[in-house]
Amino acid sequence: MGCGHSREENKAKSVASTNQPKRSQQPKAPVLLFYLPSNVRDLLTRLIASHLITSETATQADRLNIRFVDVPNQRSYRRFWPREFTNKQDYAAALYIADIRDRANLLMNARTLNWFLKLVLDKYNLIVVAICSNEVQLNEFQSMLCAQIEPLVLSETNPETVLNFVEIITTAVSRYNDTKKRTADVTMRGK
């Protein structure tokens, strides 16, 4: 009833379209989160979600396919934070999120971050993110950290800071996915 050639052609097209990875089929890239006990993770996801709805950032929102991995943050577990880098070597980025909107949290985050940086700064790539309300808080926080640390700023009042954060995370996720793909290709060739 029809020619067989058209059937094979349609079959080839459907096979080609199913081989293309879709965003929903790709596993989410894990991002390690280090922070002191608070509502930082909720605030972070709320900031990202609220500012990714605009039309300018729709393409970035499509590419931001991440899964936050909370590292236990109770005081007794913090001493094991450096082990997270060796135990979980399969992650796209590691973030230390400091909520410095009030003075007590600012001081505690500065103290904890300085301790943590002594252990991991030279060995691992840790992105420091500071959630602040104004420039004074940020300047005070930066003055308490070592000179080579430049925190990435997130502000509820400035959407540009969120876009900058999303760009950095998107870049880290792209590198992670490329590395995973190359590793999978090498593994497949070796078999």
User: Which superfamily is assigned to 26-190 in CATH?
Assistant: P-loop containing nucleotide triphosphate hydrolases (3.40.50.300)
List the chain domain ranges. 26-190
Tell me the residue type at 114: N
Residues whose CB is less than 8 angstroms from the CB of residue 30 and which lie 6 or more positions away in sequence, other chains included: 66, 67, 69, 88, 90, 91, 92
Q: pLDDT, tens digit, for every residue of 35-94?
A: 999 899 999 988 888 766 654 545 554 557 788 888 998 989 999 999 988 887 789 999
Nearest Cα to Cα of residue 153 among 172, 136, 178, 170: 136
pTM for the model stands at: 0.78
